[in-house]
Amino acid sequence: MTKVCVVGALGRMGERVRAALGDEAGLELASALEAPGHPGVGDDAGGVAVVDDAKAALGAADVAIVFATPEPSLEVLRVAAEAGVRCVVGTTGFSSAQRAELETLAERVAIVLAPNFSVAVNVLGELVRRLGEGWDAELVEIHHAAKRDAPSGTALWLADAVAEGRGAEAPRVLAREGDTGPRQPGSIGIQTLRGGDNPGEHSVLFVGQGERLELTHRSATRDHFARGAVRAAAWVSGRAPGLYTMTDVLGLHP
């Protein structure tokens, strides 16, 4: 059995990841990690006690599944790299410097990094990569009111997929107000909405002359994100050091 540490074990995603682990043969919950001072430290989390000591939690695991804010995630990844614990990371909002450090850590231990672990969203990414040429592209995303980073990591990843499909750099337009002039050719607009408890919706609009194609993914729960993260944990077990994506996990390479 591959032993899994769930980081952010009492959060919205951590709860669903712990539930999803019960449905994955070959994986078992070995430890549950929360931030120091969290009121749930010491509580039972599906048969293991919640701890706030990263070294102790990771010492009991083969793979860690990490959903947290950027700096706490990096703190865990530093310990994981030292201990040789492979990681699945769903954290978004890394700065360029934080991303560079993560890539350095991946030279020491296998890390699967993805802004979205939904299988359907990753298929959507492949579709927009193939449809990017010859259209004006706009993205709209909506998430719950507590989400801190904007645009979402998934929206930025989808914009990158459109640009990759075109084989060219594409400036992102994150806001429009006043006299903006004509639309800049090749640009990709991203509009961000926040409210309620929405787990996430992403729409990619390809706007042409006399026609428009809209591709949308809507989440009603976080369960499919959790299932994808657990699937990635099973996949990364035994992998050589390197930075991997859900494209690798799902075998979606062209």
Given the residues 143, 202, 217, 224, the one annotated as active site: 143
Q: What is the DSSP letter of 183?
A: P
Q: What's the distance, CA 211 to chain centroid?
A: 32
State the catalytic residue, choosing from 3, 38, 55, 147: 147
Annotation says 147 is catalytic:
yes
Does 3 qualify as catalytic in the annotation?
A: no
Angle, CA 25 vertex, CA 24 and CA 27 arms, to 5°: 75
Residues 6+ apart with CB under 8 A from 208: 134, 135, 136
Q: What do you get for the CA distance between the two ends of the chain, in Å?
A: 32
| Sign of the torsion angle spanned by Cα atoms 219, 158, 71, 103 | positive
Q: Tell me the C-alpha distance between 64 and 8, whole Å.
A: 10
Residue 46 neighbours by CB distance under 10 Å: 14
Cα–Cα distance between 74 and 192 in angstroms, integer? 26
Listed in sequence order, the residues at least 6 apart from 219 whose beta carbon sits closer than 8 Å to its beta carbon are 118, 198, 199, 200, 201, 225
Residue entry with tokens 């193939």: 130
- Cβ distance 152 to 92 under 8 Å? yes
Distances in whole angstroms, Cα of residue 84 to Cα of each of 12, 35, 79, 223, 244: 27, 21, 9, 28, 16
Residue numbers annotated as active site:
143, 147
